[in-house]
């Protein structure tokens, strides 16, 4: 039986979120929520009745009678879907958002929403079945602008055929549970704040450098989406008026100059022209070059590979320096596939941002790599949907 109950008071929502974030607690520990004892007892009674919470083991003795712990129902699970430009990750998490099972596979979003969402559905259903999990909600991140209230992508440049497709409603109908859809970078930003390096940071930027480039903006702990859901779409900021044409139709966008797709394109040119011996060797050996190849060649000291990463980092840094002056964040987290390029990329981004932004804004501005790495998306998706499920309908 799926758990479809929701809290019917603000207090119940706070109990649920605290148990999600910090695990099982005694009644005395729940006192930190500041409710009177009788109020807390009433809220717990209702949560236990509807099956969201259960009484568990005993708390460690503090000398007196050992009190009973309360915890979220072990039957409560959430699904997370992180759709990327070239791969999708699907996970099933328990109520404390521990990933219990996940699957990753290549995806071509250009095949359209029916096919891609159909496959995502199969994967979630299989994972949930294997875990014996009933899903109380599913969060989805997609690589393009999203009209959040309607749960649909809007003119996503790299997702032809997805414009205004009802992603949320399609999945909600299929699974019979609440579904929320947001831009993938927003979702990753939420995940990193919940369980990664940005824990306890309220105002920060999460920059995803994958096939494309985007930025999640958290202000006072909330995602800032803009009026139409394209806030943070920094991949399409112009960095070179004479640069190559971008998927969006303009030329010289940041992501047309750097990002997974652009890096591979430039590395291929360097390999074929013989400018880089190291890249040419990899191309001959494997008939293809990936962003990781560029990273490895750079690590082995190939000057062309180093140059490609430095140039890219400089361009990202220039855009971020502008963002820092504009938003004055207290942290910048770099995630996405190309974060795997590691220190070389990070050093270049830091150098440019620190040099180009006002000293007041960067005096205490850590620029760091994502701690959650490739699971930031699914974890963030589960945070987003559990926040929703743990609030009054
Ligand atoms: Zn563009």
In eight-state DSSP terms, residue 75 is T
CA angle 134/169/236 to nearest 5° reads 110
CA of 148 to the centre of ligand 1 (A): 21
In eight-state DSSP terms, residue 364 is T
Query: Strand, helix or coil at 102?
Result: strand
CA of 212 to the centre of ligand 1 (A): 9
CA of 235 to the centre of ligand 1 (A): 6
Mean per-residue pLDDT for 186-195?
97
Q: Is the pTM of this model over 0.85?
A: yes
Residue 359 pLDDT more than 90?
A: no
Mean per-residue pLDDT for 119-126?
97
How do strand 146-147 and strand 204-209 relate by DSSP bridges?
unpaired
Other Cβ atoms closer than 10 A to 26:
17
Could you write out the DSSP letters of every residue in 367-388?
EEE-SSGGGHHHHHHHHHHHHH
CA of 158 to the centre of ligand 1 (A): 10
* Model confidence pLDDT, tens digit, residues 275-300: 999 999 999 999 999 999 999 999 99
CA of 385 to the centre of ligand 1 (A): 30
Q: Are residues 194 and 378 in contact, defined by beta-carbon separation less than 8 angstroms?
A: no
CA of 257 to the centre of ligand 1 (A): 10
With residue 216 as reference, give the H or E element that holds it. Answer: strand 213-219
CA of 31 to the centre of ligand 1 (A): 51
CA of 255 to the centre of ligand 1 (A): 7
CA of 319 to the centre of ligand 1 (A): 14
Q: How confident is the model at residue 61 (pLDDT cuts 50, 70, 90)?
A: low
Q: How confident is the model at residue 62 (pLDDT cuts 50, 70, 90)?
A: low
Residue 123 pLDDT more than 60?
A: yes
User: Quick one: pLDDT at residue 26?
Assistant: 93
User: Quick one: pLDDT at residue 292?
Assistant: 92
Q: How confident is the model at residue 229 (pLDDT cuts 50, 70, 90)?
A: confident
Q: How confident is the model at residue 342 (pLDDT cuts 50, 70, 90)?
A: confident
Whole-number Cα distances in Å, 205 to 69, 195, 229, 318: 37, 15, 16, 15
CA of 346 to the centre of ligand 1 (A): 23
- The residue among 53 and 228 whose pLDDT is bigger is 53
Q: Are residues 299 and 292 in contact, defined by beta-carbon separation less than 8 angstroms?
A: no
């Amino acid at each position: 039986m799926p758990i479809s109950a929701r809290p019917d008071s603000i207090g119940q929502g706070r109990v649920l979120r605290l148990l999600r974030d910090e695990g099982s607690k005694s009644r005395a520990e729940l006192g930190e929520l500041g409710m009177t004892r009788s109020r807390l007892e009433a809220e717990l009674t209702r949560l236990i009745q509807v099956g969201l919470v259960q009484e568990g083991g005993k708390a460690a003795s503090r000398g007196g009678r050992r009190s009973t712990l309360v915890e979220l129902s072990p039957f409560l699970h959430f699904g997370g879907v992180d759709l990327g430009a070239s791969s999708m990750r699907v996970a099933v998490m328990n109520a404390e958002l521990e990933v219990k099972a996940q699957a990753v596979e290549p995806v071509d979003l250009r095949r359209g929403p029916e096919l891609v969402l159909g496959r995502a559905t199969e994967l979630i259903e299989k994972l949930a079945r294997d875990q014996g999990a009933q899903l109380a909600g599913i969060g989805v991140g997609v690589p393009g602008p999203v009209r959040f209230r309607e749960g649909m992508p809007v003119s996503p440049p790299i997702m032809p055929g997805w414009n205004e497709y009802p992603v949320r409603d399609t999945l909600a109908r299929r699974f019979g549970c609440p579904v929320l859809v947001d831009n993938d970078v927003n979702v990753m930003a939420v995940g990193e704040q919940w369980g990664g390096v940005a824990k306890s940071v309220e105002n920060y930027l999460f920059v995803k450098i994958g096939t494309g480039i985007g930025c999640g903006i958290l202000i006072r702990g909330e995602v800032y989406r803009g009026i139409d859901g394209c806030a943070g779409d920094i991949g399409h900021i112009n960095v070179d008026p004479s640069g190559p044409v971008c998927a969006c139709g303009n030329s010289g966008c940041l992501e047309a100059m750097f990002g997974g797709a652009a890096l591979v394109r430039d590395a291929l040119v360097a390999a074929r022209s013989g400018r880089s011996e190291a890249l040419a060797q990899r191309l001959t050996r494997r008939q293809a070059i990936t962003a990781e190849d560029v990273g490895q060649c750079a690590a082995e000291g190939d000057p062309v590979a180093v140059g490609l990463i430095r140039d890219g980092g400089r361009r990202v840094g220039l855009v971020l320096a502008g963002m820092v002056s504009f938003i004055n964040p207290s942290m910048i987290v770099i995630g996405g596939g190309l974060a795997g390029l590691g220190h070389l990329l990070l050093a270049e981004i830091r150098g440019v941002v620190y040099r180009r932004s006002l000293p007041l804004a960067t005096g205490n501005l850590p620029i760091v790599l994502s701690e959650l790495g490739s699971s930031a998306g699914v974890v963030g998706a589960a945070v987003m949907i559990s926040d929703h499920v743990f609030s009054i309908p």
